[in-house]
């Protein structure tokens, strides 16, 4: 038992040093700049994990994080897609409809005709299967519309 624990500990330490800079972004990476040792790397990761700020940093582009290119920071549009998956699927496949118009408005789309046409042409890329989630649909819509 002691041998297994020792081997596990050594493996964990080696993997941490071999894959340096596992901290990513967040409070830990901001306050602990010198992460040359395993201890400091672990402390920075732990700080990120316990402070729970990495998600905020990613969505806001702060704390040394970069904001994802496909991020939609429109809670209303995200909620709308979640609550109207079936109606939206029908409207996108038809290239018109109330739910599609509403989504375009929530996303502040300037050219609704081009937006709806693009979504209709790429329906299979948006609704990729029967088990697709609303978050995936939203990401796919942003990808197609970009």
What secondary structure letter does DSSP report for 88? Answer: H
Within a domain: 66: no
**48 and 106 fall within a common domain:** no
The reply to whether 11 and 42 lie within a common domain is yes
Both 48 and 81 in one domain: the answer is no
Give domain status of residue 70, yes or no.
Answer: no
Domain's final residue, options 60, 92, 108: 60
Q: Looking at the structure, do residues 117 and 84 belong to the same domain, yes or no?
A: yes
Question: CA-CA distance, 140 to 47, in Å (whole number)?
Answer: 33
What is the rounded distance in angstroms from the CA atom of residue 139 to the CA atom of residue 135? 6
pLDDT at 76: 81
Q: Does 68 map to a domain?
A: no
Domain that holds residue 97: 75-145
Could you tell me which residues come within 8 angstroms of residue 128 by beta carbon, excluding any fewer than 6 positions away?
Answer: 136, 140
- Residue that terminates a domain, selected from 34, 60, 86: 60
Which of helix, strand or coil describes residue 76? helix
Give domain status of residue 124, yes or no: yes
Q: Identify the pLDDT of residue 79.
A: 87
pTM of the shown model = 0.51
The answer to whether position 65 is within a domain reads no
Sign of the four-CA dihedral 134, 116, 61, 74: negative
pLDDT at site 97? 92
Q: Number of structural domains, the chain?
A: 2
Mean pLDDT in consecutive groups of 10 residues from the start of the chain, 146 residues:
61 46 66 70 70 60 58 72 91 92 88 92 91 88 86
């Amino acid at each position: 038992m002691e041998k297994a624990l020792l081997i596990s500990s050594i493996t964990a330490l080696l993997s941490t040093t071999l894959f340096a800079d596992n901290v990513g972004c967040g409070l830990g990476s901001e306050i602990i700049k010198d992460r040359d040792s395993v201890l400091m790397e672990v402390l920075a990761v732990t700080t990120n994990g316990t402070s729970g700020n990495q998600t905020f940093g990613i969505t806001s582009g702060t704390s040394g994080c970069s904001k994802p290119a496909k991020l939609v920071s429109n809670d209303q549009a995200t909620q709308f897609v979640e609550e109207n998956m079936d109606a939206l699927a029908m409207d996108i496949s038809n290239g018109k409809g109330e739910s599609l118009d509403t989504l375009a408005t929530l996303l502040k789309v300037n050219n609704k005709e081009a937006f709806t046409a693009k979504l209709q042409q790429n329906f299979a890329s948006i609704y990729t299967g029967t088990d697709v989630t609303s978050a995936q649909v939203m990401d796919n819509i942003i990808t197609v519309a970009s």
